[in-house]
Structure 1
């Protein structure tokens, strides 16, 4: 535990005045100035002893009302402070906060309520330390002060803000984006059965009697596979797309991360199984209807930063093309957009924070539904939504 002891401005002024009085007493031969100087020095020393001589120890425990703090969200921090001292001092306390969260983390000690607490608001995503708790006491003359730190720090995770987005106009996939999107299953009802002509070797139990009577020839039931493709959200965080990371947050990259989280959660709420990957193919999270999956994704996005290179979309996706494919990137030239393919996705949605001239037209020619991404994440998503998803051929 580190202790810091120092004089107040008044105390420092008293020492300076004491020194000047001693010097003046020698210069003008005035003993009264010497007495005043000595008195001021002794009073300052006595005040310092009163401030820092008492021995104090204590323990601190903090509890944050939310496990994950969202950017712009407010949460309450409750502190249990057990101070061990000969007498309870009248002091001021404050909790050390990083710039990534804001709040009025201080007050008088001891508080009238008996509890220490304050509210914090997330400002910048990441994992940040809160604390230690600092207790500041001042002697009755206001000449000396003592600042003493208690307890360890506690980390708080600030995750990107998740916005409510407009629904897709038409859901992709035969199942319409149900909770079983990741499965491929044989249909068992009339909706997914189509009759075909009888072939030698077909079981008689599969004869479709209604179609046979209608056609006048033996027809059998053919079970069609029904599937609803998963959705994929790609966050292009390759270094060439973004400004070099610095002390201040890149507003464009923060908007991209927020849209990545918002679109993934939105598609999962619509019933799709969602995979979130970066431009190098690293899996950031999956959403399959579990709350823990959502929290794990938000924590991963809280720590993400621009780095690495990007790979071809078809290489990222791998096997079967997805239903909705959301691709979020930064700077986008016309050549970049011309080489960016939807890889056979049923619906390709492309958003860029820095599209250059000709990029939007090139992306549209490749089958993307394109929109620039600015500060308003929800509005950019609405602009990027195709008028009708899953209809017509999409270039691969």
Structure 2
């Protein structure tokens, strides 16, 4: 009975009613009609239930990562691996509500060993990781009296990443040039006496043979390969709920996430080994030079209930080795700014991207004064300030990160 459609149930009810009326009225012709109408959905259910279709399904996402507001194409590939043709197939893929309505398709017939490919598009205005699938197929009889649903188990994940803006090149410090290439340090450049050689291995270039060590150890020794090293930096993202204003894709929090993604991708492409820290502590990134792991992490970052940046500051302090710290910050007070500012010392460049959250909810004189006080504190410790109000792209203000003395304090303690 579960496999019967509304039409099938109507046929069955009509047939039973005809049989009862034929029995009461003694009408043989009505009885024959009742038998036919009752048997038709039952026979259809038996035929559909005994159908032994074997279908294989594959799904491809292009691209597997899409920016907020961008589209991705989902391609379904169905193959009939039996020697029998299929009947009518009703296909429905499982798609989260954020990606749109569930796509539905009808395949009239798939020949033996036949293949069908179906494309549809998905789009989301919200960041996240979305599971697409599993695919379900409803097998129906030609009269539409019976439907059976069979589902595949495979599913795929679409990652919707924050919007990434292309940023202009900015020289952030003399310690880190931002040129894009990891610097190369050759051990051999230290001189013959300081070289740490190793034994010869099959395939080593004979031009790298270190003859003095070879004579000393009595076996062929070669200079070690050049060692690559990479500048390091840290990106701090303020995710505290109370530090942001607004709701939805235009909220200050989403602007902060997009700014962090843009800065992180920009620095990674210029050769900076980057680690991500939030007010909850350090985030694990599977790669330090590329941006895929960073974008995947930022795709699922959410508000935190934390009230302070203490854990994030502690993670920055314990990490060590950073030549650059970029902090994307929401609302904060002067005391919090002072704790963060103390992380910057000689040899470290600090860039603070300050979201002017008061511009998301109308002008507030107290909030503006606090925002100015935070700028003054950070500038007093040598941080470079990039102000980001509502409606402004990070790309249009990123050049301010090069202005080393723009908000520096004068001798009297006021902003210069």
Give the TM interval when normalised to the shorter protein: 0.5 to 0.7
Q: CA deviation at 1:296?
A: 2.1
Checking the alignment, whether the CA contact within 8 Å between 1:165 and 1:382 is kept in structure 2 is: no
Q: Name the CA shift for 1:13/1:38 in 2 (closer, same or farther; >3 Å).
A: same
Checking the alignment, whether the CA contact within 8 Å between 1:178 and 1:272 is kept in structure 2 is: no
Q: Name the CA shift for 1:353/1:137 in 2 (closer, same or farther; >3 Å).
A: farther
Query: 1:301-344 deviations in whole A, cap 9, x for unaligned?
Result: 33433346332765343257744523244xx2556776564343
- 1:1-396 equivalences under 5 Å are 6-22=3-19, 29=25, 31=27, 35-71=32-68, 72-84=70-82, 86-102=84-100, 104=103, 106-108=105-107, 110=109, 114-123=115-124, 124-149=126-151, 151-167=152-168, 170-179=171-180, 230-238=232-240, 240-241=242-243, 253-285=253-285, 289=289, 293-307=290-304, 309=306, 310-311=309-310, 314-318=313-317, 319=320, 322-323=323-324, 325-329=326-330, 332=331, 341-342=340-341, 343-344=343-344, 346-352=349-355, 354-355=357-358, 357-358=367-368, 359-366=370-377, 367=379, 368-372=385-389, 379-383=393-397, 385-386=399-400, 388-391=402-405, 394=408
Q: Report SS of the residue matched to 1:285.
A: coil
Q: Report SS of the residue matched to 1:386.
A: helix
More strand per residue: 1
Q: CA deviation at 1:130?
A: 2.8
Distance 1:153 1:362 in 2: 54
Distance 2:84 2:405 in 1: 78
The unaligned stretches of length 5 or more in structure 2 are 190-229, 359-363, 380-384, 410-416
Query: 1:41-61 deviations in whole A, cap 9, x for unaligned?
Result: 222212222322222333333
Checking the alignment, whether the CA contact within 8 Å between 2:235 and 2:264 is kept in structure 1 is: yes
Distance 2:104 2:7 in 1: 26
TM-score by length of 2: 0.65
TM-score by length of 1: 0.68
The unaligned stretches of length 5 or more in structure 1 are 189-227
Distance 1:392 1:351 in 2: 14
Checking the alignment, whether the CA contact within 8 Å between 1:56 and 1:85 is kept in structure 2 is: no
Checking the alignment, whether the CA contact within 8 Å between 2:164 and 2:262 is kept in structure 1 is: yes
Checking the alignment, whether the CA contact within 8 Å between 1:105 and 1:117 is kept in structure 2 is: no
Q: Report SS of the residue matched to 1:128.
A: strand
Q: Name the CA shift for 1:21/1:276 in 2 (closer, same or farther; >3 Å).
A: same
Distance 1:335 1:390 in 2: 21
Distance 1:305 1:255 in 2: 13
Distance 1:382 1:105 in 2: 43
More helix per residue: 2
Checking the alignment, whether the CA contact within 8 Å between 1:130 and 1:153 is kept in structure 2 is: no
Q: CA deviation at 1:158?
A: 0.5
Distance 1:109 1:328 in 2: 56
Q: Name the CA shift for 1:383/1:26 in 2 (closer, same or farther; >3 Å).
A: farther
Q: CA deviation at 1:282?
A: 0.9
Checking the alignment, whether the CA contact within 8 Å between 1:338 and 1:362 is kept in structure 2 is: no
Q: Report SS of the residue matched to 1:282.
A: strand
How many residues get paired?
A: 339
Distance 2:182 2:313 in 1: 21
Checking the alignment, whether the CA contact within 8 Å between 1:371 and 1:383 is kept in structure 2 is: yes
Q: Name the CA shift for 1:260/1:338 in 2 (closer, same or farther; >3 Å).
A: closer
Distance 1:312 1:324 in 2: 16
Distance 2:144 2:116 in 1: 27
Checking the alignment, whether the CA contact within 8 Å between 1:134 and 1:148 is kept in structure 2 is: yes
Q: Name the CA shift for 1:360/1:241 in 2 (closer, same or farther; >3 Å).
A: closer
Q: CA deviation at 1:371?
A: 1.7
Query: 1:66-101 deviations in whole A, cap 9, x for unaligned?
Result: 444444242343425344364432323233223344
